[in-house]
Amino acid sequence: MQIHRFNLEPYKGMKTRHVCPGCGKKSVFVLYIDNATGQPIAPNVGRCNRIVNCGYHYKPRQHFEDNKHLFPDNHKVEWKPIIPKNIEPTSYIPPVMLKASRKGYNQNYFISWLQSLFGDQLTSGLVSRYHIGTSKHWPGATVFWQIDCQGRIRTGKIMLFNSASGKRIRKPFDHITWVHILLRSENFNLEQCYYGEHLLKLEPSKPVAVVESEKTAIIASVYLPQFIWLAVGSLTNINVKKCQPLEGRNVILFPDLKGFEYWSKKCDELNDTYQKSRFFVSDLLEAKATISEKENGLDLADYLIKFDFLRFNQKNNILPTIPVLFEPDPPVKHPISNLLSNQLYVLPEPLPKFDPTSITAEECFVEDEKVVWNIDELEAFFAGIALPKKPFKFNQCLTITDCASFIESHLSFVKANTGSRAFVPYLRRLQELKQLLSTN
């Protein structure tokens, strides 16, 4: 196996991220490594990860061209690929760690925010589908597991969100770390994959949509479930190698604002590499965004959550449910491995007709109408039945300890805020509880 002579240093913790010589920011600069020696070329030869706000990128070829005087006259850089002596195998996270994270959802801030948007039942489906976990590294933190097409766990990204706004906690520091770093294994060889990649094998002919953040992929999967939603993790993390599992697919890229130009160039590169696939870039955000929204770099999720997902789905004739593909508490043996066949990639032949201009969803962007909820039937139902006295599991994410108090508080919120979109989850919980108690 050949590799390039010079590569950007792989991420192995903050020790591989340095001060950018362009913008002066800490922990954002990635050095180019000479694979023949394993050492950095020079302290200023590398790329700043702040592509939009800084853009510093000093390449090896530029360095050698600009510094000919530093080398003997007969010195000539060998640009051909080299064959490394030892290639370390990719490392994986034990499945038992994923299993251990599938609990504590009552304390998971990101899950709480999802429940405020979609209610408990739909949130449970998202937790199961995307294997969202809970971490005790920070109270309320979330784990986004990267699981490849073969069901192997590459790593897990740990992040902390605000339970009220759904925004990441960035102060007094950016709350983000990785499971493989917390393992403190010096020999861990990380090869990342896209978040949600494990879903590709389950729906081999379905078109794919790609966004930057894990949060956006999860949100968009509710509003536009006609796609498999993947997340690359960051603006610069989209590349040819990681897109190999998308071979033979129709793929549409939804870059964040400020990322449209960069992803458009990547799209051309991907189309040249994977000629059995078709990659497109959506300009939906670019076309709709205001100047201030572009300056703030909003993403697709920021727009989608402005609208009630039920009305959004009805406009598109979409069934607003997320199928539960896996058991809530997977066994130690990885649950995905039982669902995957030996064939890694299924190439639809011929590719289904695909029109990227139909993925604007602009017709769905309608303002909410003020409505008044009729809750008389709910009140009458709860008043006329014997309520459970003991705690019981309402769903995967919620255990009700005091049913009477739960109903009383929810009814008071619904009455005081009738028609308000922000309190729709309270109404849905009452409706789901009614259905549950009627069944049992």
Assess if residue 204 is contained within a domain. yes
Q: How far is CA 322 from CA 101, 129, 319, 431, in A?
A: 21, 8, 9, 18
State the amino acid at position 426 in one-letter form: Y
Q: Provide CB contacts within 8 A for 380, sequence distance 6+.
A: none
Assess if residue 101 is contained within a domain. yes
Instruction: Look at the chain and report how many structural domains it folds into.
Output: 3
Q: Provide CB contacts within 8 A for 378, sequence distance 6+.
A: 411, 430, 431, 434
Residues 315 and 393 in one domain: no
Q: How far apart are CA 409 and CA 425, in angstroms?
A: 13
- At 91 the pLDDT is 93
Residues 149 and 223 in one domain: yes
Chain-centre distance for alpha carbon 33? 29
Q: Which domain holds residue 329?
A: 95-364
Assess if residue 371 is contained within a domain. no
Chain-centre distance for alpha carbon 306? 19
Residues 132 and 234 in one domain: yes
Q: What are 278's strand-pairing partners?
A: 250
Residues 184 and 319 in one domain: yes
Residues 56 and 200 in one domain: no
Looking at 70, 104, 124, the residue that finishes a domain is: 70
Residues 327 and 347 in one domain: yes
Assess if residue 76 is contained within a domain. no
Looking at 364, 391, 410, the residue that finishes a domain is: 364
Q: How far apart are CA 422 and CA 287, in angstroms?
A: 27
b/e map of 330-339 (b: 16 or more CB within 10 Å)?
Answer: beeebbbeee
Q: How far is CA 25 from CA 29, 30, 213, in A?
A: 8, 12, 22
Q: Provide CB contacts within 8 A for 188, sequence distance 6+.
A: 91, 180
Assess if residue 206 is contained within a domain. yes
State the amino acid at position 12 in one-letter form: K
Residues 323 and 394 in one domain: no
Assess if residue 151 is contained within a domain. yes
Q: Provide CB contacts within 8 A for 229, sequence distance 6+.
A: 196, 208, 209, 210, 211, 217, 218, 220, 221
Residues 265 and 123 in one domain: yes
Residues 233 and 329 in one domain: yes
Looking at 310, 343, 364, the residue that finishes a domain is: 364
Q: How far apart are CA 298 and CA 301, in angstroms?
A: 8
pLDDT (tens place) for every residue of the chain, 440 residues total: 456 778 888 776 677 888 998 888 888 899 988 877 778 888 899 988 887 778 788 888 888 888 776 665 545 566 666 655 566 789 999 999 999 999 899 899 999 999 999 988 889 889 999 999 999 999 999 999 999 999 999 999 999 999 988 999 988 888 999 999 898 877 888 899 999 999 999 888 899 999 999 999 999 999 998 899 999 998 889 999 999 999 999 999 999 888 888 999 999 999 999 988 999 998 888 887 888 887 777 889 988 898 888 877 666 554 434 333 333 333 322 222 222 222 222 223 344 444 444 444 433 343 344 456 778 888 999 998 989 888 888 876 677 888 888 898 888 878 877 776 656 777 888 888 888 888 77
pTM here is 0.68
Residues 135 and 16 in one domain: no
Q: How far apart are CA 275 and CA 392, in angstroms?
A: 53
Give the chain's length: 440
Report the Cα–Cα distance between both ends of the chain, in Å, rounded: 60
Would you state the structure tokens that stand for residue 260, as one six-digit string?
A: 């449209």
Assess if residue 1 is contained within a domain. no
Residues 131 and 242 in one domain: yes
Tokens 């200023």, located at residue: 44
Assess if residue 20 is contained within a domain. yes
Residues 390 and 344 in one domain: no
